[in-house]
Structure 1
Amino acid sequence: MTKQLIVRGAPQEYELKAHAWDSLESHLNRRNIKNVLILHGEKSWEAVKPYFPELSITAAYHYYGGQCTDAAAESFASLCNQKKFDGIIAVGGGKVADLGKFAAYKAHLPIIILPTLAATCAAYTPLSVVYDEAGIMLRYDIFPKASDLVLIDPAVILASPRELMIAGIGDTLAKWYESHAIISQLAVKPIEVQVAEFAAQKCREILIAESTAALEAMAQNQLNQAFIDVVEANILLAGMVGGFGDEYGRTAGAHSLHDAMTVLPGSHQQLHGNKVAYGILVQLMIEENLTEIEQLLPFYHQLNLPTSLAEMNLHLTEEEYQSVAERACAPGEMIHLMKQTITPDLVIQKMKALEAFTQE
């Protein structure tokens, strides 16, 4: 199996510390950035305003629009050219970060990311997941340049919604199962792939051992080491898996299932990481690894991660099963990196088998 292996290991600079955002202007000055576009979310921006520092440089604040689309990236890149911005700061969750990276790539500008959540590794990775206006996932674009800076204040993420942290745990847990499905097929593992495998193993190890304590920190609004560890597993370690492993460590069955489910309008009410967590179980069904599913189910139940379509209030018709399965198995989908021969019929069979298995 020969896949692309280009290392995109990390942002140019990454810093997690208390009051990290307070150093934003000094970072901008070091880069000679004097006129910035600041993209932000809606509810998240209202929540994190108290943490965001006053800037003495010129800054224009814009709500990002709710989705990372080609049109949005083109619009903000055009705005950057018109207003002669010399940098972009993305403040928010994964979609804000993805749109910021995409627009910065188009406008040939540095991108600085201030995460408000630990729900994905988007802040760390030099790629953007692109959707259409209806919320259907189209593709992901990988950029030849890493983000310039990621600044994480753990207090900001401590105050974020608990359900988004849980979704991040579900998304990050997939790093081990998806990368293992691919890497386990290799007779010889390049050093880069070994680094990706180590990071993926650490993701699973930290999340299984420390997620409960991390969520307790959120409930008590009191930082602890478990919380810091889970945040960095969801952002840094998760980003390293694809950053060093490239196509050997990026995605396989679980994310293909997630992407396919976006064709169902009802699925848009579910968080990305919840759908990925469900996809892990379908992937394990395809691998006929019922033992691992049984070991994971108590962890899923403890965190209230979905173990079935029914738990996501998704009751599919035969036509909807077919639509999801065909999308999951489309040519070029990462599900085909698994060693099994994947067909729509097999995906439907295993999705239904998971429903039965989790209801027993």
Structure 2
Amino acid sequence: MTSNLIVRGAPQEYELKLNAWQDLPKHLERRNLKKAMIFHGDKSWEAVKNYFPELTKCETSFYYYGGKCTDDAAAHYAEIAEKEQTQVLIAVGGGKVADLTKLTAYRLNLPIIILPTLAATCAAYTPLSVVYDDEGVMLRYDIFPKATDLVLIDPQVLLESPYELMVAGIGDTLAKWYESDAIISQLAVKPIEIQVAEFAARKCRDILLSESDAALQAMKEQQLNPSFIDIVETNILLAGMVGGFGDEYGRTSGAHSIHDALTVLPDSHKQLHGNKVAYGILVQLMIEQKVAEIRQLLPFYHQLNLPTNLKAMDLSLSEEDFQQVAERASAPDEMIHFMKETITPEVVIQAMKELETLTIDAWS
């Protein structure tokens, strides 16, 4: 753990309101940006393109981002952007689209605008990108010295997003409390920045546990309600504040290290990021020997259909698989070592196996 603490609190501008995307031309005009390169998903773009505004005063080019945030993809699109003399990069999509756009923009020192189509991660809010290799194995995350310039959120767009991705986003955001608490609870003195991160992390947990059911009901009924807005802003804004103010003290520890380790298994790639992180929370709690807390979370997990064990993710691990995952999770540079416990492959394997027994017995 480093003693350095750099606050990267928020995008330069952030706005959530109905029809927020329609203000994009105005935002581009007042920034004097006249040439934009727009990254988007595949199915998501078909679902939201009717919400995207006409940019009559800005020359635009549209690119399907390719489904991955990799170094090669960033280099490829950076080359195109340079040839086109692009002035701004705009991401329309989920976390990987946002991450690739940020990674590409950083290489070119260009402004970044993000229009989220999902509330599944805080990627729209944070100045970092999670980078994978071509096989989908997580390599690293890069933190940038510049915030995103503008985030525009239309809650109606997110209301129409896939239900299961919102659930995964809730699982991912729930980790903010458990991962940051594992680190911050070790501090004898908490600077104000850390206190802000801790407050945001606790609010993430409290809002998710109390309002997720009503928010998901809004999606089922396709009718906006206050809980839906709260969950959207918890998954994006509050979640982003935890790492934004806490830096390494509020970013990730055990749960995400377990997620990252699972990516070495090809069969895990069919599972959503947030589902694997939600599972990672329970493994982390098992390492911390907080079995009572696991039992308290299990009804919430089952209510939302978040995975409580490997079996729930259709993963059947051999002893070799367990070893491979555990070695990756406990690698020297993994953030799981920010926890106070001594982490070894044996500790990880034991926690995973004990969790399997506990959760299967609890609901058998």
Q: Deviations over 1:208-257 (max 9, x none)?
A: 00000000000000000000000000000000000000000000000000
What secondary structure is seen at the aligned counterpart in 1 of 2:69? coil
How many residue pairs get aligned? The number is 360
1:351 equivalent to 2:352? Answer yes
* Residue number in structure 2 paired with 1:51: 51
For structure 2, the residue ranges without an aligned partner over 5 or more in a row are none
Aligned-partner residue type, residue 289 of structure 2 = E
Aligned-partner residue type, residue 94 of structure 2 = G
Task: Work out the CA distance in 2 between the residues paired with 1:167 and 1:192.
Answer: 28
What secondary structure is seen at the aligned counterpart in 2 of 1:288? coil
Give 1:280-299 correspondences, 5 Å limit.
Answer: 280-299=281-300
Task: Work out the CA distance in 2 between the residues paired with 1:302 and 1:58.
Answer: 47
* Residue number in structure 2 paired with 1:257: 258
Aligned-partner residue type, residue 331 of structure 1 = P
* TM-score after normalising by structure 1: 0.99
Aligned-partner residue type, residue 211 of structure 1 = S
* Residue number in structure 2 paired with 1:205: 206
Task: Work out the CA distance in 2 between the residues paired with 1:127 and 1:280.
Answer: 22
1:167 equivalent to 2:168? Answer yes
Give 1:9-20 correspondences, 5 Å limit.
Answer: 9-20=9-20
Q: CA deviation at 1:297?
A: 0.1
Task: Work out the CA distance in 2 between the residues paired with 1:47 and 1:102.
Answer: 25
Give 1:68-217 correspondences, 5 Å limit.
Answer: 68-217=69-218
What secondary structure is seen at the aligned counterpart in 2 of 1:160? coil
Task: Work out the CA distance in 2 between the residues paired with 1:123 and 1:97.
Answer: 6
* Residue number in structure 2 paired with 1:339: 340
Aligned-partner residue type, residue 112 of structure 2 = I
* Residue number in structure 1 paired with 2:317: 316
Aligned-partner residue type, residue 254 of structure 1 = A
- Give the conservation status (yes or no) of the 8 Å contact 1:3–1:247: no
Q: CA deviation at 1:332?
A: 1.3
Task: Work out the CA distance in 2 between the residues paired with 1:256 and 1:143.
Answer: 21
For structure 1, the residue ranges without an aligned partner over 5 or more in a row are none
Task: Work out the CA distance in 2 between the residues paired with 1:30 and 1:147.
Answer: 16
Q: Deviations over 1:91-124 (max 9, x none)?
A: 0000000000000000110000000000000000
- Give the conservation status (yes or no) of the 8 Å contact 1:37–1:89: yes
* Residue number in structure 1 paired with 2:326: 325
Task: Work out the CA distance in 2 between the residues paired with 1:187 and 1:300.
Answer: 33
What secondary structure is seen at the aligned counterpart in 2 of 1:119? coil
What secondary structure is seen at the aligned counterpart in 2 of 1:74? helix
Q: CA deviation at 1:50?
A: 1.1
- Give the conservation status (yes or no) of the 8 Å contact 1:112–1:149: yes
* Residue number in structure 1 paired with 2:303: 302
1:225 equivalent to 2:226? Answer yes
Q: CA deviation at 1:5?
A: 1.1
- Give the conservation status (yes or no) of the 8 Å contact 1:8–1:126: yes
What secondary structure is seen at the aligned counterpart in 1 of 2:243? helix
* TM-score after normalising by structure 2: 0.98
* Residue number in structure 2 paired with 1:241: 242
Task: Work out the CA distance in 2 between the residues paired with 1:5 and 1:323.
Answer: 33
Task: Work out the CA distance in 1 between the residues paired with 2:321 and 2:241.
Answer: 35
- Give the conservation status (yes or no) of the 8 Å contact 1:192–1:244: yes
Task: Work out the CA distance in 2 between the residues paired with 1:43 and 1:107.
Answer: 28
Moved segments of 4+, more than 2 Å: 1-4
Task: Work out the CA distance in 1 between the residues paired with 2:31 and 2:326.
Answer: 47
